[in-house]
Amino acid sequence: MASDPFHLFDEWSAEARRSEINDPEAMALATADASGRPSVRTVLLKSHGPDGFVFYTNRESDKARQLAENPQAALLLHWKSLRRQVRIEGRIDLVTDKQSDDYFASRSRDSQLGAWASNQSRPLDRRETFETRFEEMRSRFDGDDVPRPPHWGGYRVIPDRIEFWSDRPHRLHERRLFTRSGDDWIEGLLFP
C-alpha cells in the first residue's frame, strides 16, 4: 500500500493525459447550498498537489454561492479509457489573487473576454445578448491586456478523503481509500 495519495494521483493523471481523447482534466464538482440541496456540474482541474485540487470560475455563479454557504465539495474524475475514477471530498478555500491572476493571464484572449461578458448562471434572454456583450468586451479591451475580472477566481478543494477506483472483471473492482489523519494519510480498502 502507498502512503501518499498525491503521488498515486500524479501517476494516474499522467496516464489519463496520454490515453483520454477529450479533457482528461474534466471533473464533476458537487456542491450543496445552506439547505443541503445538491448540485453537480463539470469543471476543469487546473492544478493539484498536497495543498489541494484547484479549479477556476465566476465567483458570482450558482456554484460560488453554494460554496460560500457550505464550503465543502466533492470532485469526481472519471477516465473511461483507463477504467478508473478518483473521488475527492474536502473543504473549500479560495486561491490567492496572484494565483488567479497568473492563471487568468494564461487563458486565451477570447476566454478572458468571455469571463467579462458572462453573467454566469443568470437567465439569458437570447444568445445574441451574450454575443453582443462579448463584442463589447472585445472593443473595450482592444489593444490592451485583459485583466482578471474582480468576480472571477480560483477555488481549492483541500481533501480529507481521496478514493481511487479501478474497474475489475465481474464487478470485483478495487477501491483504495485514503483518509487524512492530521498531516498524514491512512490507506484502506473498501468493498466494491
Domain-located, residue 20: yes
Average pLDDT over residues 51-65: 96
Number of domains in the chain: 1
For 98, the enclosing helix (H) or strand (E) is helix 97-106
Residue 64 domain flag: yes
Residue type at 70 in one-letter notation? N
Sorting pLDDT into bands at 50, 70 and 90, what band is 2?
low
- 125 in a structural domain: no
Judge whether 136 lies within some domain: no
Q: How are beta strands 72-79 and 26-32 bridged, if at all? A: antiparallel
pTM confidence score: 0.93
Residue 1 has pLDDT above 70, yes or no: no
Which structural domain, as residue segments, surrounds residue 176? 5-100+150-190
User: Which of 88, 107, 94 has its CA nearest to residue 13?
Assistant: 88
CATH code at 37?
Answer: 2.30.110.10
Domain assignment of residue 81, yes or no: yes
pLDDT digits (tens, 9 = 90+) for 126-150: 999 999 999 999 999 999 999 999 9
The greatest distance separating any two alpha carbons of the chain, rounded to the nearest whole angstrom, comes to 59
Q: Is 83 a catalytic residue?
A: no
- Which stretch of DSSP H or E encloses residue 133? helix 127-140
* Catalytic option among 127, 156, 171, 180: 171
Share of the chain above pLDDT 90, in %: 92
Distance CA(40)–CA(171), nearest Å, equals: 26
- Please compute the mean of the pLDDT values over residues 23-38 and round it to a whole number: 97
Residue 111 falls within a domain, yes or no? no
Q: Which helix (H) or strand (E) holds 55?
A: strand 52-58
Q: Is the pLDDT of residue 169 over 90?
A: no
Confidence (pLDDT) at 163: 98
Q: How far apart are CA 34 and CA 68, in angstroms?
A: 9
DSSP symbol at 44: E
Alpha carbon of residue 108 to chain centroid:
19
Q: Does residue 33 lie in a domain region?
A: yes
Model confidence band, residue 67 (pLDDT cutoffs 50, 70, 90): very high
Q: Is residue 183 part of a domain?
A: yes
- Are 34 and 72 spatial neighbours (Cβ–Cβ below 8 Å)? no
- Give burial (CB, 10 Å; 0-12/13-18/19+) of 34: exposed
The pLDDT of residue 191 is 94
